Amino acid sequence: MSNRPVKQQTWLGEVAALTESLQHLRRRGEEAAHLRADHVELLGRAAATRTSTD
């Protein structure tokens, strides 16, 4: 029974580390989505410019 608190602390530490990793990945995913949206917008502008000058 004396090992239980140590195992529980280790488990809680692992859960905290995984939670932090998932939050980091979510932020990176949000950043990637913004970059994709910016890229699509720039492609649209480039296409409009090209069409108007052709």
pLDDT in tens, 7-29: 888 999 999 999 999 999 999 99
Which of 29, 30, 33 has its CA nearest to residue 41? Answer: 33
Question: Residue 34 and residue 39: Cα distance in Å, rounded?
Answer: 9
**6 — pLDDT class (breaks 50, 70, 90):** confident
Kindly report the pTM of this predicted structure: 0.61
pLDDT score recorded for residue 15: 95
Domain boundaries, the chain: 14-54
